[in-house]
Amino acid sequence: MSLRKAVLADSRALAELIRGIGWFHRFDTEDLETTAARIETHLGLCLGDDSHDVWLAEDEQRHLLGYVAVHWLPYLILRGPEGYISELFVEEAARGQGVGQRLLAVVREEGLRRGCSRLSLINFRQRESYERGFYRKAGWSERETGANFILSLMD
């Protein structure tokens, strides 16, 4: 397995992986090209400056196994920025083989290089990764005193 930063040409492979996970039903009525085009637009925004990174994990045949997207956020109240992992997905067939751990490790290394105070992410409790303690096993701790609020601006 190898890790590398994403490029725009990876949009279709990312679309296939995300759709293949089957968690996001909004893709059920959308063709692959539409999904890939949207991902290309968003990936382009991420690649536009140094405040976002998207890393890919691939096998020896360059088949996409998983990816992680991280956003480097300055906080006025912290000694250094926070790395916020917005997405970490591994295709089902590759789970349990260390892909997710490698993706977390590259984010940790980059966070240390950038002088980050912390890394954060949201893991939904009904997800398999939460139930099997994926992040806890990797040394992460759940923030017991916080709540995650959202305000939906689109359906």
At the fourth CATH level, the homologous superfamily of domain 2-137 is Gcn5-related N-acetyltransferase (GNAT) (3.40.630.30)
Q: Give 88-117 pLDDT, tens digit per residue.
A: 999 999 999 999 999 999 999 999 999 999
What is d(CA 41, CA 36) in angstroms, rounded to the nearest whole number?
9
Beta bridge partners of 74: none
Looking up tokens 């890790």 gives 3
Give yes or no for residue 155 having a pLDDT over 80.
Answer: no
Work out whether strand 64-73 and strand 2-5 pair parallel, antiparallel, or are unpaired: unpaired
Q: What pTM did the predictor assign?
A: 0.91
| 1 pLDDT tier (thresholds 50, 70, 90) | very high
Closest to 112 in 3D by CA, of 57, 55, 52, 72? 72
Q: Give 112-145 pLDDT, tens digit per residue.
A: 999 999 999 988 888 888 888 788 888 889 888 8
| 154 pLDDT tier (thresholds 50, 70, 90) | confident
Mark 106-139 as b/e (b = at least 16 C-beta within 10 Å).
Answer: bbeebbeeeebeebebebeeeeeeeeeebbeeee
What is d(CA 19, CA 30) in angstroms, rounded to the nearest whole number?
10
Of residues 78 and 146, which shows the higher confidence score? 78
What is d(CA 145, CA 140) in angstroms, rounded to the nearest whole number?
15
* Rg of the chain taking only CA atoms, in angstroms: 16
